[in-house]
Structure 1
Amino acid sequence: MPLYRRAMKQPQHVKRVLEMVRDQGLAATINRVKGQLDAGTPTGYSAAGTVIAVGERVDGFAVGDRVACAGAGIANHAEIIAVPVNLATRIPHGLESDEACTVTLGAIALQGIRRANPTLGESVVVLGLGVLGLLSVQMLKANGVRVIGIDPDPKRRSIALATGATAALDPVDDAVGTVARLTDGFGADAVIICAASSSDAIVAQAAQCCRRKGRVVLVGDVGLSLDRADFYAKEVDFLISCSYGPGRYDPVFERGGADYPLAYVRWTETRNMEAYLALLAEGSVTLAPLSPEVFPIGQAPAAYARLKDAADRPLLALLSYPEPDGRPSRRIALAAKPGLSGSIGVGILGAGSFLQAVHIPNMLAMPERFHLRGVMSRTGATAKAVATRAGAAYATSEVDEVLNDDAIGLVMIGTRHDLHGDLTLRALRAGKAVLVEKPLCLTDAELAAIEDFYAAHPDGPMLLTGFNRRFSPAIRRIAELLRGRSTPLMASYRMNAGFLPADHWTQGPEGGGRNLGEACHVYDLFCALTGSLPVDIQARSMRAPSKQWRADDNFSASLAFADGSVCTLLYTALGTKEHPKERLEVFADGMVLALDDYRSLTVAGRRTKGWQGGQDKGHKALMVALGDGLRTGIWPIALDQQIAIARAALRIQRLISA
């Protein structure tokens, strides 16, 4: 789909891009969007196979179990997939994998029926007789419901009749009137929309088919310009069915593995998956009338070609995989771009969106300093896409592939925050220099382990936490103006961070909260401006009656430094994003230096220039400093400062959480 059409279809992403342009600048936004588009999206969201390994905290599954799995970005088209426990369920004895692999489709159809809440003897219209619609027909029939199907395709109408529908209608042949006649003039008790079309006429027809106080349930993707007259006079309810069921899009349930108690949430997405497989196993639902066609994975292009055949395309095309032959490979060799003589080989651990948009492009723009050797990411598809685009020698999903590579001298860590400390320590022990995106770590124990490493290895590899702001041109200009100052300084930093919901990953165990994950940037900046380390720290958070406002989103922290300076951060999520995000004011030697969003620096009290330019937070300059440091042995940020900043952030976290 052309980019402009994708933008029209997903306006929420356009808004996010515009916010990124405002916050990060046009060039950084273009790189980030291009990286996301080039990486693509893994295909597939429904699969079945055999368990080859289980995680340490997994209960209820064992190696050798046959399971069906769901989830976009999880149950991908691949030989090996990593699936959280709540998105997998055992396949009943006697049910074949080529039936069980439709588990996601079945759960979606079943959730739509649950939203319609049909009762024995009711009449329900299924509008759209594709795979979801035809599965819905069979489930409704099994539920004692009288089913009427509507679809323009005569082949699909024929299958609906064969699988239990009382009638199957063409939408252009007075379907509304026919539904009324089939229901004694009252209309259907409910209509389940399983169609996919941009037309608004479908939802209008659904409402017109309903009786007074009937229900319309949307499962498919159709136009939603609702006509009040279609719903108002009959007081028709309009309901949305959310994918597989309760738990969908809840990271605590899906990624974290926390279940909802059955007594309070009878049908989660996992239990919907189980119920669908049980219906298949007992024969209440069958895929045979849908005539699924199975293609070996090597013939995947032929499978997609068949689906494009408008005249004779199958309702279902399944991809099968060969039995594994030996130990699975976790490394894919690629055609690498050779590095320049003297450049350092780089390995990526965690090819997240920030690394893709910022650090990797900056690194590739310095071939005399760096060349990309290997890319590791949790998902092989992401690792391969990033590695291919950047000219790396290989992609992998295994950390040790990078750490054991003698051709790699620098490891860049861009995983979620909870892995930073452990991966940093492993890379250092492997003899690799490390650039770790902030924060350095999330716990005192991890910080102590890094300190112990350098106590035992004082000449150990270089470590650089990604505190880029101190390298920005505006901050370097401030440092010039403060050089040789005769007084300590007073500094005030305001971070209008904007609201993030509690279920955003940065707010959970993976992120550690915004004090540890973002405010640490400012603590480092204070160290850079004062040239000394904090000796006393005070912090206090807002205590709001509403639970949506977190303590580590709204707080004030004051750091006193060894040179007598006092620096204060006000961090808040209460403000609007329409207001500038960051402002720094520094008072020293009769001067007032004011920096707005790294775009404009003004100077009062001196007849000297400040700084003006496009927003530059120092990302590229950080990479330059790292390259120079690896050549000269001079650390861009001293180790004691990095340790002190991490300790300060952990101290502030305790104070504002108390």
Structure 2
Amino acid sequence: MENQWAAFATVGALALQGIHQTGAQPGSRIAITGLGPVGHIALQLLRAYGHDGVGIDSDPRMVDLAAAAQLTAYPRDTDGLHGRLTRHWGGTGADAVIITAATSSADPVDFAGHLARDRACIVVVGDVNVQPPRSSYYHKELTIRYARSYGPGRYDPRFEEDGHPYPEGYVPWTERRNLAEILRLTARGTLDLTQLKPRVFPIDRAPDAYQMLKASSDTERSVALLLKYPGTARLPHQPTTASTAAAPWSTPGGRVRIAAIGAGNFATKMLFPHLKRHQATTFSWIATARGLSAAHQGPRWGFTTVADTPDTGIASRDADCVMVLSRHDSHGRYAARVLRSGTALYCEKPLALTEAELGCVSEVDLDVSRSTLWGGMI
């Protein structure tokens, strides 16, 4: 899977959460109103899971885009659309309608009431005017549900920031699992995001990309835009005090450039504070598995660079010592890569969890790599 398609994980998770809210069963008949990026992905997900999905949009271009992906879609102004959909579903209405449109009009909610069967579910994902008409919603006893962002855990600081999990038996599909599922389906090719044909802009042309969102003509508008970042992001350098006492293992320049892989509680509470106060050290680059914590902790502690991946940081050779502070099951492979690069290594315990991981480290010829191995206290 190319990195650019992973950028759609959050948008895809929004669509997936909307499907979860319908309570759909295999083969459910579901209508999607609004075929922008979220609606288009939702329609692909319905197909992937074996549901009978139909998309509807007032913009013919969005309908054509869905048709190009071999999805069933109709323009909103199709003559006799309600009757056509009823025949499509064997003489009944939709088991659920997911509204992914964005409009101040009440039409999407009104129209959803006509499409739905008796006691169906209407799920609001988009930003629409929710004023359900009594004539359809009361007489069919319809249920309106909202899909809040990309899944349970969103807006909960205990879950998102402190890492407190929800009990899986009660909340199996959290925001993390929704995101992971979109990545899984994309990697397998089940979710084909190439159909969105996104226009890619380098980050320094971000204003041009945002102008595209406001483009007035259909030929100028794009259904999806991507911003492309360079391999590493440079952070403002924070001045440090000149060294007055060099450590016995310092470099000829008098200051040791330290990089870090991982930025968890142990690193930020036990190691970074002490190293930051040490006059013979300076922070070089930092990397984490997902990148978010690195982007947060990097400027906090004065790291000059946030590497997009640990491998990018290691390859830069812009450090005298790399500290492996990541999850235990990743210590072995990161340690071996650091040693092979010829850079001094500090690895928190354990060095490895299996004999195979330990073998990867022991196979590195320290004499050839000229590396030094330091370890955390046991």
Shared topology, TM-score over 0.5? yes
Aligned to 1:158: 64
Aligned to 2:118: 212
Q: State the one-letter code of the partner of 2:228.
A: S
1:577-614: CA deviation from partner (whole Å, max 9, x where unpaired): xxxxxxxxxxxxxxxxxxxxxxxxxxxxxxxxxxxxxx
Q: How many angstroms does 1:120 deviate by?
A: 2.2
Instruction: Give yes or no for contact 1:129–1:150 (8 Å, CA) kept in 2.
Output: yes
Q: How many angstroms does 1:397 deviate by?
A: 4.6
1:247-298: CA deviation from partner (whole Å, max 9, x where unpaired): 1111111121111132221100011000110010011101111101110011
Instruction: Give yes or no for contact 1:159–1:290 (8 Å, CA) kept in 2.
Output: yes
1:275-290 equivalence runs, <5 A = 275-290=181-196
1:286-435 equivalence runs, <5 A = 286-310=192-216, 311-312=218-219, 313-324=221-232, 328-330=235-237, 397-398=299-300
Instruction: Give yes or no for contact 2:29–2:51 (8 Å, CA) kept in 1.
Output: yes
1:57-68 equivalence runs, <5 A = none
Q: How many angstroms does 1:186 deviate by?
A: 1.1
1:509-531: CA deviation from partner (whole Å, max 9, x where unpaired): xxxxxxxxxxxxxxxxxxxxxxx
Instruction: Give yes or no for contact 1:137–1:163 (8 Å, CA) kept in 2.
Output: no
1:611-643: CA deviation from partner (whole Å, max 9, x where unpaired): xxxxxxxxxxxxxxxxxxxxxxxxxxxxxxxxx
Aligned to 2:165: 259
- 2-structure distance, mates of 1:109, 1:331: 41
Aligned to 1:221: 127
Structure 1 residues 117 and 329: CA distance shift in structure 2, 3 A:
same
Q: How many angstroms does 1:230 deviate by?
A: 1.9
Instruction: Give yes or no for contact 1:197–1:223 (8 Å, CA) kept in 2.
Output: yes
SS of residue in 2 equivalent to 1:245: coil
Instruction: Give yes or no for contact 2:93–2:115 (8 Å, CA) kept in 1.
Output: yes
- 2-structure distance, mates of 1:400, 1:146: 53
Residue 179 of structure 2 is aligned to residue 273 of structure 1? yes
- 1-structure distance, mates of 2:162, 2:175: 14
Instruction: Give yes or no for contact 1:146–1:166 (8 Å, CA) kept in 2.
Output: no
- 2-structure distance, mates of 1:167, 1:201: 18
Instruction: Give yes or no for contact 1:150–1:171 (8 Å, CA) kept in 2.
Output: no
Instruction: Give yes or no for contact 1:292–1:317 (8 Å, CA) kept in 2.
Output: yes
**Aligned-residue CA RMSD (Å):** 2.2
1:345-375: CA deviation from partner (whole Å, max 9, x where unpaired): xxxxxxxxxxxxxxxxxxxxxxxxxxxxxxx
Aligned to 2:151: 245
- 2-structure distance, mates of 1:98, 1:256: 29
SS of residue in 1 equivalent to 2:30: strand
SS of residue in 2 equivalent to 1:221: coil
Q: State the one-letter code of the partner of 1:285.
A: L
Residue 24 of structure 2 is aligned to residue 118 of structure 1? yes
Instruction: Give yes or no for contact 2:22–2:123 (8 Å, CA) kept in 1.
Output: yes
SS of residue in 2 equivalent to 1:217: strand
Q: State the one-letter code of the partner of 1:329.
A: P
SS of residue in 2 equivalent to 1:222: coil
Instruction: Give yes or no for contact 1:160–1:168 (8 Å, CA) kept in 2.
Output: no
Structure 1 residues 399 and 119: CA distance shift in structure 2, 3 A:
closer
Equivalent position to 2:53, from 147, 163, 169: 147
Q: State the one-letter code of the partner of 1:242.
A: R
SS of residue in 2 equivalent to 1:196: coil
- 1-structure distance, mates of 2:141, 2:70: 30
Instruction: Give yes or no for contact 1:246–1:269 (8 Å, CA) kept in 2.
Output: yes
Unmatched 5+ stretches in structure 2: 240-297, 304-378
Structure 1 residues 331 and 196: CA distance shift in structure 2, 3 A:
farther
1:420-477: CA deviation from partner (whole Å, max 9, x where unpaired): xxxxxxxxxxxxxxxxxxxxxxxxxxxxxxxxxxxxxxxxxxxxxxxxxxxxxxxxxx
Aligned to 1:191: 97
Unmatched 5+ stretches in structure 1: 1-94, 333-395, 402-658
SS of residue in 2 equivalent to 1:112: helix
TM-score (norm 2): 0.61
Q: State the one-letter code of the partner of 1:314.
A: S
Structure 1 residues 329 and 157: CA distance shift in structure 2, 3 A:
same
- 1-structure distance, mates of 2:236, 2:143: 52
Equivalent position to 1:133, from 36, 39, 49: 39
Tell me which of the two structures has the higher relative contact order, counting C-alpha pairs closer than 8 angstroms and 6 or more residues apart. Answer: 2
Q: State the one-letter code of the partner of 2:182.
A: Y
Identity of aligned residues (%): 41
- 1-structure distance, mates of 2:238, 2:111: 53
SS of residue in 2 equivalent to 1:309: coil
Larger Rg: 1
- 2-structure distance, mates of 1:330, 1:257: 30
Q: How many angstroms does 1:305 deviate by?
A: 1.8
Aligned to 1:589: none
Equivalent position to 2:139, from 223, 233, 242: 233
- 2-structure distance, mates of 1:300, 1:111: 29
Q: How many angstroms does 1:132 deviate by?
A: 0.3
Q: State the one-letter code of the partner of 1:251.
A: P
- 2-structure distance, mates of 1:158, 1:165: 9
Q: State the one-letter code of the partner of 2:112.
A: A
- 2-structure distance, mates of 1:300, 1:141: 34
1:638-649 equivalence runs, <5 A = none
Instruction: Give yes or no for contact 2:235–2:299 (8 Å, CA) kept in 1.
Output: no
- 2-structure distance, mates of 1:149, 1:173: 16
SS of residue in 1 equivalent to 2:15: helix
- 2-structure distance, mates of 1:330, 1:229: 64
SS of residue in 2 equivalent to 1:197: coil
Structure 1 residues 319 and 119: CA distance shift in structure 2, 3 A:
same
- 2-structure distance, mates of 1:141, 1:111: 15
SS of residue in 1 equivalent to 2:226: strand
Q: How many angstroms does 1:115 deviate by?
A: 0.7
- 2-structure distance, mates of 1:175, 1:114: 26
1:552-593: CA deviation from partner (whole Å, max 9, x where unpaired): xxxxxxxxxxxxxxxxxxxxxxxxxxxxxxxxxxxxxxxxxx
Instruction: Give yes or no for contact 2:13–2:178 (8 Å, CA) kept in 1.
Output: yes
TM-score (norm 1): 0.35
Aligned to 2:11: 105
Q: State the one-letter code of the partner of 2:184.
A: A
- 2-structure distance, mates of 1:141, 1:123: 11
